[in-house]
Structure 1
Amino acid sequence: MDLTVVAYVIYLLISVALTVWVARTLSSNGRIFLADVLKGDEKLAEAVNHLLVVGFYLVNLGFVTLYLKAADAVTNARGLFEALSVKLGVVLLVLGVMHLGNVYVLNKMRRRGLLERHQTPPVPPQAWTAPAAGL
């Protein structure tokens, strides 16, 4: 078998496995943030979490497949490792950026929800007082 094909197969296996692992990690830990942001609405948090995971898969797997083609043919074991290291390194960097982006967005959403909660009075107004005369 051609070493370029071997590089493609190894690249796809590792990249897809890494994408699945990161997506599962984001999904399980992001659910907590979403539930907090959505004021305890677990059903809505689960739905939004699922949509975010699907989007994450689409973007990352799309990138992995677009980045599959090697510029040069792999002719020896050294070339195989070099091609894999470059491709997997770029995939890891993209996954890391996507992960940090997701964490950033979830944190912004959570902070906004916390600020909104603190802006509402803890007790609704009990009565209305007319302004004093002469003011």
Structure 2
Amino acid sequence: MDILLTTYAGYLVLSCLATWWVGRTLRKHGPRLVESGEQEDRKVYVDAFTHLLIVGFYLINFGVISLALRYGNNVRDVQTAVELLSTKVGLVLLVLGVMHFIIIASLAKSRNTDKYDPPRRRAWGEEPTR
């Protein structure tokens, strides 16, 4: 088998496994971050919100994996194949890390918005309450 084809296969397997692992972790632990335990209806919201985040996560990461497959140097030997594989998997891991923190921030923000009432806009001429 051609060494470039082997490199591509390794890249796809490692990148897809990493994406699946991070998505599974978010699915497992994301609801705990959002749940407040106060309302029974909250569970439906939490599951739907987490599922939507994970779908977006998969779409973005599989898109990056597909686009990165095209870019890179020519593979001449095993050393350049390993270097190419390392660069491509490193790019995917960086994107996974960024996406992970964006999703965690999104989950944390959704949790915090329920705890505080938004400031109420005063009507014209209304005195501020203290």
TM-score (norm 2): 0.82
| 1:24-103 matches, cutoff 5 A | 24-36=24-36, 39-40=39-40, 41-103=42-104
Cα drift, residue 34 of structure 1: 2.8
In structure 2, distance between residues paired with 1:13 and 1:68? 12
Instruction: Provide closer, same or farther for how the CA distance between residues 14 and 111 of structure 1 changes in structure 2, counting only shifts above 3 A.
Output: same
Stretches of structure 1 lacking an aligned partner (at least 5 in a row)? 120-135
Percent identity reads 38
Residue 65 to residue 112, structure 1, CA distance change in 2 (3 Å)? same
Alpha-carbon distance in structure 2 between the residues aligned to 1:5 and 1:32: 41
* Residues 48-89 of structure 1, C-alpha deviations (whole Å, 9 max, x = no match): 211111111111001101111143221111011100111111
Gaps of 5+ in 2: 120-130
| Corresponding residue pairs, total | 118
Separation in 2, partners of 1:112, 1:47: 17
Greater shift in the superposed pair: 103-112 or 54-63? 103-112
Corresponding residue number in structure 1 for 2:111: 110
Paired AA for residue 91 in structure 1: V
TM-score scaled to structure 1, two decimals?
Answer: 0.79
- 8 A contact 2:35–2:111 mirrored in 1: no
Residue 15 (str. 1) matches residue 49 (str. 2): no
* Runs of 4+ with >3 A deviation: 37-40
The CA RMSD measured in Å over matched residues stands at 2.2
Distance 1:55 1:37 in 2: 26
Task: State how far apart, in whole Å, the 2-side matches of 1:92 and 1:48 are.
Answer: 24
